[in-house]
Structure 1
Amino acid sequence: MTQYLDFEKPLAEIEGKAEELRALARNSAEMDVGDEAAALDTKAATLLDDLYKNLTPWRKCQVARHPERPHCRDYIDALFQEFTPLAGDRNFADDMAVMGGLARFNDQPVMVIGHEKGNDTKSRIERNFGMARPEGYRKAIRLMEMAGRFGLPVITIVDTPGAYPGKGAEERGQSEAIARSTETCLRIPVPLVSVVVGEGGSGGAVAFATANKVAMLEHSVYSVISPEGCASILWKDAEKMREAAEALRLTAQDLMKLGVIDRIVAEPRGGAHRDAPAAIASVGKALEAMLEPLMALDGPALVAERRKKYLTMGNQRLTA
């Protein structure tokens, strides 16, 4: 059953009525409601287009957090072959919020690393809702350094509310682990491409996404802080998250204008959660397009391009 967001309630009513009509028709051979159901389907499709045509930043946050949106494991299962997971940071533990390992992408050996949120209550708790602890970032560092030694391109899949802010994480050096992961992204002499498929939250996302090329799904978000957190700090009121979302410039469209990302990946009508296979296929094409030209560059050129990208960031101005 589709989970509807708050702003989709009118759509839920129409689609619910259409399904009720079909259920009645299935239970009674004498009832012919095909035309009525088809009319409701057409009305629902038009409303869906209208709802998603001009989403506000806050609504994009809601879509990016949709529980049925495809997550890292879904992308790995669909786009990569011979995936071999690698676990642990060789220091403390294995962080289940971060998954990564060796794989093939279009027959090219790669290292793939991503945040995994889980898809039900049990897996979400196990994965800590995609919020990595220091051992998760240290695992990512280990895998990126391994990729650098063996000349393997690195692909990262970003989907996290942010790094886990718990007491234990801070005691084990959360900020240092994030900083070292970001620094590792900058220095590995192999192609590094990243895609934000849901939430790109703060340093927890930057630690994976300091890449040669960064793409975002159309309705994903990427920001220094969540709208609720920003509202709590600026206005002492988390309910002002809509105003905060506007101010943060966290949408893919704004970030493309600012030069923070390099590509926007179109989503199916109604968001990635309504047609996961199509969304995943689009991400695969974007990764291929970003990775191909980088494969022709040597290590020093890749590192120089990556450093230049981030040192010059901020020169662009938002014109809209």
Structure 2
Amino acid sequence: MNDRLTARGALAAVADHFEELPEPPEPSEPSIGGGASRPDGPIGWAGYAEARAAATARTGETESVVCGIATIGGRDAVAVSFEFGFLGGSLGERTGDRLAAAHATARERRLPVVSLIATGGSRMQEGMRALTQLQRVAHESALTRAAGLPQLAVARDPTTGGGWATLGAGADVTLGLAGAQIGFAGSRVRPADADPAAYTAEAQLAAGHLDAVVGPADLPARLGRYLTLLAAPSAPAEPVEPPAALGADALPETGWAAVRGARAAARPRAAAYLDAYFDTREPISGDRCGGVDDGLLAGFGRRAGRTVGYAAQLGTRTTPAGYRTAARLLRLAGRLGHPVLTLVDTPGAANDAAAERAGAGPAIADLFAAVATSPVPVTSLLIGEGGSGGALALAAPGNTWATPDSYFAVINPEAAAAILKRPPSAARTTADELRLRPQDLLDLGIIRGIVPPRPRPGR
């Protein structure tokens, strides 16, 4: 999809069918200062009526958004598409009317909302009456969220101002078109020395504010997959089965053998488990607070006809951004009614100064709370190292399983030996004392079971 397509062109690029919603009625009461009855708008901006007429003549539209029911990838959704050629895709009162009607339709018909955004922000010619539409849009979005309906956004070029800060950044899943200009500050109001690269889709992805950057040719298929994955389930969520073990078959004889097996470079990691478990999957990325943890995968996958949310550690120390991303996934899955699978594999939480400044403690606490209060069942599988609270935060109480090549410990044996003022060589015997092997965890009631290996061809 070309980032300068018209509103209808953007819709045609992603939708197989589109039926426009009827124009919402004019407000029954005039706006402050004369409102709809004034030819130049609610604040009497000289020449506003002429500017609107010129915009209509240029674009064929009467407002900056086109709203309707679209079929995308075989799924129906309420679609909102911005016309940047109409006064820079700015939000005014009538824009707010259309957006409110679109969300009301979504809730009435139980449909997701897909926003194709291209906007420069709020409409100056309507003053504060335009700016307050952001509150209105946020309210409608919150009602749709409370109804358990997913909201997806595509940030086209440009997506700035209030449109980014509501429909864009406030969506459940936010995609950015490659190379698009995205940011709260538009190009004409940024500091003169601002780095333009910071206001791009790629920079927003790196900062944890987008879930993916997508090329125009890939966008229709990606949107269709997200709509399929996020669609409301037909029945209440049931716990999913844990994945089969992909690594060692035999249980470790000693605690130190368990530690060595979990740390083995050749041991299968989370990506292999997710690929074997799901038929298809799409990511969510970033904590929406300025951070991304490359050591954590999160998103939604499809298995045996049902959607499952997932959060999986990759064997590195998990950063605060990783914990916040996992909590974001848990809460989104809970709101949409999808069960969750977590894969536990970390030597522990990141413990450097940067992690402390980024809020390691609060981030871990938030994930503990998200797991503890999840309205959908969570299944966890320990696939490698289970290092202290940084691993336990991702584990489901009462429904955690383990592979044979894994361990879980209150603290790793080297650190335990150091704390107990033992020599480094004592880490091996300390590992046995910690009772961290999968079979020890089962005896202690920490895990529910040890998963068998995946059946191999010929067996």
Name the TM-score, length of structure 1 as normaliser.
0.62
Match of 1:173 in 2: 359
Q: Deviations over 1:43-75 (max 9, x none)?
A: xxxxxx9xx676211011101111111100001
Whether the aligned pair in 1 keeps the contact of 2:402 and 2:447 (CA below 8 Å) is yes
Q: Match of 2:420, as an amino acid?
A: L
Match of 1:74 in 2: 272
Q: Deviations over 1:99-146 (max 9, x none)?
A: 1101112221010110013xxxxxxxxxxxx21110100000101000
Matches within 5 A, 1:4-15: none
Match of 2:303 among 82, 93, 105: 105
Whether the aligned pair in 1 keeps the contact of 2:317 and 2:350 (CA below 8 Å) is yes
Matches within 5 A, 1:56-205: 56-117=254-315, 130-205=316-391
Distance 2:303 2:449 in 1: 19
Match of 1:214 in 2: 400
Distance 2:398 2:279 in 1: 23
The offset of 1:257, in angstroms, is 1.0
Query: Taking structure 1 as reference, are residues 212 and 148 closer, same or farther at Cα in structure 2, changes over 3 Å only?
Result: farther
Match of 1:263 among 449, 452, 458: 449
Q: Deviations over 1:138-193 (max 9, x none)?
A: 00010100001000100001111111111100111101211110111010110100
**Structure number having the greater helix percentage:** 1
The offset of 1:219, in angstroms, is 2.9
Whether the aligned pair in 2 keeps the contact of 1:192 and 1:212 (CA below 8 Å) is no
Q: Deviations over 1:263-297 (max 9, x none)?
A: 11235xxxxxxxxx659xxxxxxxxxxxxxxxxxx
The 3-state SS of whatever aligns with 1:95 is coil
The offset of 1:210, in angstroms, is 2.8
Distance 1:263 1:69 in 2: 20
Q: Match of 1:240, as an amino acid?
A: A
The offset of 1:236, in angstroms, is 4.0
Shifted more, 92-101 versus 231-240: the winner is 231-240
Q: Deviations over 1:223-244 (max 9, x none)?
A: 1111111011112422211121
The 3-state SS of whatever aligns with 1:78 is helix
Q: Which runs of 5+ in 1 are unaligned?
A: 1-48, 118-129, 268-276, 280-320
The 3-state SS of whatever aligns with 2:439 is helix
Whether the aligned pair in 1 keeps the contact of 2:252 and 2:404 (CA below 8 Å) is no
Distance 1:181 1:57 in 2: 28
Query: Taking structure 1 as reference, are residues 278 and 159 closer, same or farther at Cα in structure 2, changes over 3 Å only?
Result: farther
Count of paired positions: 209
Comparing both chains, which one has the higher relative contact order based on Cα–Cα distances under 8 Å and sequence gaps of 6 or more?
Answer: 1
Q: Which runs of 5+ in 2 are unaligned?
A: 1-247
Q: Match of 1:88, as an amino acid?
A: G
The offset of 1:255, in angstroms, is 1.1
**Structure number having the greater strand percentage:** 2
Match of 2:200 in 1: none
Name the % identity.
38
The 3-state SS of whatever aligns with 1:83 is strand
Matches within 5 A, 1:33-48: none
Match of 1:28 in 2: none
Q: Match of 2:318, as an amino acid?
A: A
Q: Match of 2:384, as an amino acid?
A: G
The 3-state SS of whatever aligns with 1:266 is coil
The 3-state SS of whatever aligns with 1:60 is helix
The 3-state SS of whatever aligns with 2:405 is coil
Whether the aligned pair in 1 keeps the contact of 2:251 and 2:404 (CA below 8 Å) is no
Distance 2:451 2:386 in 1: 15
Q: Match of 2:359, as an amino acid?
A: G
Q: Match of 1:208, as an amino acid?
A: L
Distance 1:183 1:233 in 2: 29
Distance 1:183 1:70 in 2: 29
Q: Deviations over 1:6-38 (max 9, x none)?
A: xxxxxxxxxxxxxxxxxxxxxxxxxxxxxxxxx
The 3-state SS of whatever aligns with 2:394 is helix
Match of 1:224 in 2: 410
Distance 1:81 1:137 in 2: 26
Whether the aligned pair in 1 keeps the contact of 2:251 and 2:438 (CA below 8 Å) is no
The 3-state SS of whatever aligns with 2:309 is strand
Distance 2:281 2:392 in 1: 24
Whether the aligned pair in 2 keeps the contact of 1:223 and 1:248 (CA below 8 Å) is yes
- Whose Rg is larger? 2
The offset of 1:254, in angstroms, is 1.0
Distance 1:99 1:161 in 2: 16
Q: Match of 2:426, as an amino acid?
A: K
